[in-house]
Amino acid sequence: MIDTTIFQDKTAVYYTLGCKLNFSETSTIGKTLKEAGIRTARKGEKADICVINTCSVTEVADKKCRQAIHRLVKQHPGAYVVVTGCYAQLKPDQVAGIEGVDVVLGAEQKGELMNYLGNLEKHSQGEAITTAAKDIRSFSPSCSRGDRTRYFLKVQDGCDYFCSYCTIPFARGRSRNGRIEEIVEQARQAAAEGGKEIVITGVNIGDFGKTTGESFFDLVKALDQVAGIERYRIS
């Protein structure tokens, strides 16, 4: 059990690079920290925690990630800095070597970020905690609000195809998905919050069901029964 008393009245900032899937995951991280008593820092306010969710599609993306990390470290001196996402998974030691970074979390650890905050004391040097791509198996559900009534719902992660030009299988691990029952419950929560449209997201949605023995068609049929959601889009 995590002692959340040390997080009361602490503040955090979140910075996301890359795809809608990353934005959805950052949103879920933010909700988890909020439940522990950590509020989002106001504009211009110095934060106690910086969470940076990175992309690594190209060298340009890597450069943008490094720039974002340097910028946030400078803007929030003394903050506990956590870097996760694809760049963190692919080049953890490089990221851990950036001044000001405390913890680098890979794809398997991203969903358990709370477990790596400790007492928020700065590290003398960055610590990288990752899992080899072939061993990444956990699926971290996420659902984020894109605007007032549109939500992005993650249903699948990872890829098994290993195309020569693509780093996704190494950055996000093998294909895996959530269970229909759990995903439908997230859709119901979105509807309860006023959501009218859900964008179904994933790395390779056509692979949905590989890890649960279900099918994407069954998922769509189940989601169609959720009262209040007027439109679904497949991203």
Q: Which two tokens stand for residue 90?
A: 């692919």
Sign of CA dihedral 19, 24, 25, 31: positive
- CB-based burial label for 12 (10 Å; 0-12, 13-18, 19+): buried
Q: Which of 82, 102, 131 is the last residue of a domain?
A: 131
Q: Please give the pLDDT value at position 180.
A: 98
Q: Please give the pLDDT value at position 1.
A: 61
Q: How many CA atoms lie within 13 A of 77 on its CB side?
A: 0
pLDDT digits (tens, 9 = 90+) for 165-220: 899 999 999 999 999 999 999 999 999 999 999 999 999 999 999 999 999 999 99
Q: Please give the pLDDT value at position 73.
A: 98
Q: Are 39 and 126 in a shared domain?
A: yes
Q: Are 72 and 103 in a shared domain?
A: yes
Q: Are 117 and 147 in a shared domain?
A: no
User: For the domain that residue 18 is a member of, what is the CATH number?
Assistant: 3.40.50.12160
User: For the domain that residue 175 is a member of, what is the CATH number?
Assistant: 3.30.750.210
Q: Please give the pLDDT value at position 2.
A: 75
Q: Give the DSSP per-residue string, 187-208.
A: HHHHHHTT--EEEEE-S-GGGT
Q: Which of 100, 131, 162 is the last residue of a domain?
A: 131
For the chain, how many structural domains are there in total? Answer: 2
Q: Are 67 and 118 in a shared domain?
A: yes
Q: Please give the pLDDT value at position 146.
A: 79
Q: Are 75 and 161 in a shared domain?
A: no
Q: Are 41 and 127 in a shared domain?
A: yes
pLDDT along the chain (235 residues), means of 10: 85 95 93 95 96 93 96 98 98 98 97 95 96 93 88 96 92 96 97 96 94 96 97 93
**Residue 12's domain spans which residues?**
4-131
Q: Which two tokens stand for residue 206?
A: 């056509």
Q: Which of 131, 160, 179 is the last residue of a domain?
A: 131
Q: Are 22 and 103 in a shared domain?
A: yes
Q: Are 124 and 214 in a shared domain?
A: no
Q: Are 108 and 171 in a shared domain?
A: no
Q: Are 120 and 199 in a shared domain?
A: no
Q: Are 105 and 166 in a shared domain?
A: no
